[in-house]
Amino acid sequence: MQRRKDGSVDFNRTWADYKAGFGDLSGEFWLGNGHIYQLTKDKPRELRIDMEMVNGTQRYALYSEFKLSSESEKYKLNVAGYTGDAGDCLLTACTSRMDSAVQNGRSFSTFDRDNDQNSLSCASYYGDGWWFDYCYSAHLNGKYFKEEDDVPEWKGIHWLKITGSNTSLKFVQMTMR
């Protein structure tokens, strides 16, 4: 449903773009919240998130139940049943500093549809669409940074249990079955 690997696709998109999907299925893409909803509305799916850090370390997070609510419910994220070696960053906050940044149960936000819990528009600030709270513990649609780039704190593609706030992931892929 999502892949980031080289920064070739801009993920700072409108609500309509995130609903319909964008990118290239052989490269970077977002499948589309409308499509994901249709695939998960009748039966929760399994969600697997594969990640690679800039040093080549690979980690994964697996959720036994995953579904999105409808557009009228703002494509709310629903996950359960974590296993993996990346640490859970969707059901619980990844760090004690971010105890209010839980993605599960949150509505999707884009720069033109602010549905987060923060007075700041997280989607506008970070430049992408995501299930923001105050603002995130996991952030997989953020700005892509190449290995040699300096990553400003809280910018980039993060899974805070493994990246911290100023290291961006080199690769991430979200798949469901």
Amino acid 75: pLDDT: 98
| Count of beta carbons in the 10 Å neighbourhood of residue 86 | 20
Q: Are 175 and 1 in contact (CB under 8 A)?
A: yes
In Å, what is the CA distance from 162 to each residue of 19, 99, 116, 130?
29, 16, 24, 19
Amino acid 18: pLDDT: 99
Amino acid 13: pLDDT: 97
Amino acid 163: pLDDT: 81
Give the N- to C-terminal CA distance of the chain in Å, as an integer. Answer: 10
Longest dimension (CA), the chain: 44
Name the pTM for this structure: 0.92
Amino acid 108: pLDDT: 96
How confident is the prediction along the chain (177 residues), in pLDDT tens digits per residue?
999 999 999 999 999 999 999 999 999 999 999 999 999 999 999 999 999 998 999 999 999 999 999 999 999 999 999 999 999 989 887 765 555 567 888 999 999 999 988 888 888 888 899 998 867 778 899 999 887 667 777 788 988 888 877 788 999 999 999
